[in-house]
């Protein structure tokens, strides 16, 4: 049976690990029985990673659209004109 303990029980260890890794921006890899299970990142690192993933997703969708022969590309001004016509913005 597994025991459950609050993270505060490990507060000193956690603070020491965070203070050691934070200045050099090193992620902390948590393991379970010797296998990686989680990664601890600073909030800033996580935000940067999420932005990277979002940008990668957008680039993938743009590449898919550009390679589709049925895609019609229009410039920025044309797009906003069409939006204004339809929604009156």
Residue range 14-68, pLDDT digits in tens = 788 878 877 778 888 888 888 999 888 889 999 999 999 999 999 999 999 989 9
E strand map for 10-52: 28-32, 35-40
Residues 34 and 48 in one domain: no
pLDDT band at 84 (very low <50, low <70, confident <90, very high): very high
Q: What CA–CA distance (Å, rounded) separates 82 from 76?
A: 10
Do the domain assignments include residue 33?
yes
What is the per-residue pLDDT for 1? Answer: 54
Do the domain assignments include residue 86?
no
Do the domain assignments include residue 12?
yes
Q: Are 30 and 36 in contact (CB under 8 A)?
A: yes
In the chain, the number of structural domains is 2
Do the domain assignments include residue 87?
no
Q: What CA–CA distance (Å, rounded) separates 88 from 80?
A: 10
Q: Which domain holds residue 28?
A: 7-40
pLDDT higher at 55 or 74: 55
Do the domain assignments include residue 80?
no
Stated pTM of the model: 0.59
């Amino acid at each position: 049976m597994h025991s459950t303990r609050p993270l505060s029980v490990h507060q000193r260890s956690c603070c020491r690990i965070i203070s050691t890794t934070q200045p050099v921006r090193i992620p902390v890899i948590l393991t379970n029985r010797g296998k990686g299970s989680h990664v601890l990142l600073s909030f800033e690192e996580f935000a940067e990673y999420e932005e990277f993933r979002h940008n990668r997703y957008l680039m993938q969708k743009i590449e898919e659209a550009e390679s589709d022969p049925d895609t019609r590309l229009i410039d920025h001004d044309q797009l906003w004109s069409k939006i204004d016509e339809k929604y009156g913005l």
